[in-house]
Amino acid sequence: MKTLVATEKPFAKTAVDGIRKITEEAGFELHLLEKYTDVSDFYKAVADVDALIVRSDKVTAAVIDAAKNLKIVVRAGAGYDNLDLAACTARGIVAMNTPGQNSNAVAELAAGMMVYMARNTFRPGTGSELKGKKLGIHAYGNVGRLVAAIGKGFGMDVYAFDPFVKAEDIAKDGVKALSTADELYGACHYVSLHIPATEKTKKSIGYDLLSKMPEGACLVNTARKEVIYEDELLRVMEERTDLKYVSDIAPDNHAVLQEKFGARYFSTPKKMGAETAEANINAGLAAATQIVNFFKTGDRRFQVN
Ligand code: 3PG
């Protein structure tokens, strides 16, 4: 049984060592394709593998087509918008993610980004404090609930909107559940985004929601750039000279935002929410274990297709 780890953005060495140990102890062969720059190298590397582990690497229909023996692909991470699920299903390939494994790393980055923006991206001058401000969690999943807990630690007043989580479950964490996104954006000084990128959510955060935010508000995006309607973000930030935007992955209009908005805008150059040794180890080892369990016992927990 051959397993390939194909990571354009590689895991920490300790994570790769752990993946090797798990797969080799199960009697599988491990192959590595790291930091590839040409997708044709990916096509070649998947040609004869049975299992595939990726991060944000795009597993397109062409990759699936090149992987004639593939039976399972695991996205070591939460968001699986990089997997062509229809192509996997058409070939009977099981697709999984590793929910929750890298959430703490992402939540800590979201918190760090709030501090960074509150302090004028560390430029000289008077900033503001998070204590006493309203924090809105847009989607109360694994990352959202950790950001909520950190926000409470800062002394923030925490709200959440998530139509898929019961209000009473949100309330148990001392977080106020709101029933619409409009209410969340209308109330909160900081909104931290944790929605997945789907056909429904892409470009769903635009003028209507952002223009409702209170004076001096900041949108924190550690989710996906695709959920933002970038033209409308630009328009609202031009009209509302108090609004701020911070993103973990450069938007398509990064250069324009950077030039126009100075300390009101910041983006990491490359997505780094899950870039901690701990997150790499948690997600990488979970992916390897899920593959071994799938082949040994038929375990399909975490299947997403
Ligand atoms: C995720 O969806 O798990 C995060 O966005 C992490 O993505 P990465 O593995 O590309 O860092």
Strand partners, 31: 4
Q: How far is the CA of 78 from the centre of ligand 1 (A)?
A: 6
CATH annotation of 2-101+275-297: 3.40.50.720
Q: How far is the CA of 283 from the centre of ligand 1 (A)?
A: 10
Q: 285 falls in which pLDDT band (50, 70, 90)? A: very high
Position in ligand 1 atom list of the atom nearest CA 80: 2
Give CA 26 to chain center in angstroms.
30
Position in ligand 1 atom list of the atom nearest CA 223: 5
Q: 282 falls in which pLDDT band (50, 70, 90)? A: very high
CB-side exposure of 252: number of CA atoms within 13 Å? 9
Q: 88 falls in which pLDDT band (50, 70, 90)? A: very high
pLDDT tens, 176-220? 999 999 999 999 999 999 999 999 999 999 999 999 999 999 999
pLDDT tens, 4-49? 999 999 999 999 999 999 999 999 999 999 999 999 999 999 999 9
**Residue with the nearest Cα to atom 3 of ligand 1?**
77
pLDDT tens, 214-225? 999 999 999 999
Give me the pLDDT at residue 2, please: 98
> Which among 55, 109, 198, 275 is the best mutation to test ligand 1's pocket, defined by most ligand atoms within 8 Å of the CB?
55
> Which among 225, 271, 280, 302 is the best mutation to test ligand 1's pocket, defined by most ligand atoms within 8 Å of the CB?
271
Ligand 1 cavity residues, CB under 6 Å: 9, 55-56, 77-79, 102, 271, 273-274
In DSSP notation, the chain reads -EEEEEESSPPPHHHHHHHHHHHHHTT-EEEEEES---HHHHHHHHTT-SEEEESS--B-HHHHHH-TT--EEEESSS--TTB-HHHHHHTT-EEEE-TTTTHHHHHHHHHHHHHHHHTGGG-SS----STT-EEEEES-SHHHHHHHHHHHHTT-EEEEE-TTS-HHHHHHTT-EE-S-HHHHHHH-SEEEE-----TTTTT-BSHHHHTTSPTT-EEEE-S-GGGB-HHHHHHHHHH-TT-EEEESS--TTHHHHHHHHGGGEEE-SS--TT-SHHHHHHHHHHHHHHHHHHHHH---TTB--
Give me the pLDDT at residue 197, please: 97
**Residue with the nearest Cα to atom 9 of ligand 1?**
55
Strands (E), 162-301: 176-177, 190-193, 218-221, 244-247, 265-267
Q: 129 falls in which pLDDT band (50, 70, 90)? A: very high
Q: 244 falls in which pLDDT band (50, 70, 90)? A: very high
Chain region(s) in the chain for CATH 3.40.50.720: 2-101+275-297, 103-267
Give me the pLDDT at residue 55, please: 98
Topology of 103-267 in CATH?
Rossmann fold (3.40.50)
pLDDT tens, 145-170? 999 999 999 999 999 999 999 999 99
